[in-house]
Amino acid sequence: MTMRVRKAVFPAAGLGTRFLPATKVIPKEMLPVVDKPIIQYGVEEAMASGCDQIIFVTGRGKWAMEDHFDMTYELEQTLEARSKVELLDVARQISQMVRVASIRQKVPLGLGHAVLTAKDLVGNEPFAVLLPDDVMDAAVPCLKQLIDVFNQKQASVIATQVVDGKAISAYGVLDAKPVPGFNGRLFEISNLVEKPKFEDAPSNQAIIGRYVLTPRIFECLENINPGALGELQLTDGLRALLKYEKMYGYCFEGKRYDAGDKLGFLKATVELALKHEDLGPAFTEYLKSLKL
């Protein structure tokens, strides 16, 4: 029996230390890129890919994320009373967008542990994982590209991008060979390594923050030991899953911004502002006027 991917898990318990002092009180997922908080990009991508159940794995001080997708009664009342129809629409679209379930990751033991925390909310069905820091810009939503492959192969699929040079050491990396017939984008995985040294990286196919996983991953995550950085790594759980099931990497079509990093955040802000329907033209003129 084939199953639809309905649930999307967002590991979002991190302290956002790369973004201090901005993230001392505000969750990094709530920092706005142009006019939306980072988390909203991921949630919209999940919904545009067919998921209708959103699961946040959060930590202390992260309530603003849940509030963002809840109804803001006072705001909506005030906008209605003032006949601010367009703004009311914006506020309502978000609160009516989706229902969110959340669960606390009480101790920050790593990404593998964060995903395992969602086990009971996911249950025995395939599901998506989206790392909110990775903001994607793609004609077909990145997660949708993975789900299309999942629907054909009925096996876990991980998004990748080519990363050349020493930067590869910041990623999980695939050892994999291309599957014929997918424009060189699909890879069958034989191994995965988390944050290898440049010399040891098995390829330049870096894992990025979108996954479609079979529920057997939970059993695998329950049995891994701390890996890179002393953390329970999702990549190590995936390597364990490979013993039982096939797994694929998909070099997605589109662009990824690492919005959890200050420079990546600025790149996302500038490029998405340039493309923004209302702001784009004026912002383009402004950047040109800087004559850098």
20: tokens are 């201090």
Burial of 61 (0-12, 13-18, 19+ CB in 10 A): middle
Q: Determine the Cα–Cα distance for residues 95 and 102; give it in Å rounded to an integer.
A: 16
Tokens (6 digits) for 182:
């997918």
> Which of residues 29 and 94 has its CB atom nearest to ligand G1P in the complex?
29
Q: Report the residue number, 93 or 225, with the smaller CB distance to ligand G1P.
A: 225
DSSP state of 243: T
The one-letter code for the residue type at 220 is: C
Among 13, 79, 129, 131, binds ligand G1P (CB under 6 A): 131
Residue 206 binds ligand G1P (CB under 6 A): yes
From CA 111, how far away is CA 234, in angstroms rounded?
6
- Size of interface with ligand G1P, in residues (CB under 6 A): 13
Question: Among 114, 117, 68, which Cα is nearest to 90's?
Answer: 68
If the CB atoms of residues 122 and 207 are measured against ligand G1P, the closer one turns out to be 207
Give me the least distance between CB of 206 and ligand G1P, in Å please: 6
Using the minimum distance from each CB to ligand G1P, give the nearer residue, 11 or 88: 11
126 binds ligand G1P (CB under 6 A): no
Q: Binding segment for ligand G1P among 74-82, 114-122, 207-215, 280-288 (CB under 6 A)?
A: 207-215
In the chain, the amino acid numbered 261 is D
Q: Which residues bind ligand G1P (CB under 6 A)?
A: 111, 131, 134, 171-172, 194, 206-209, 233-235
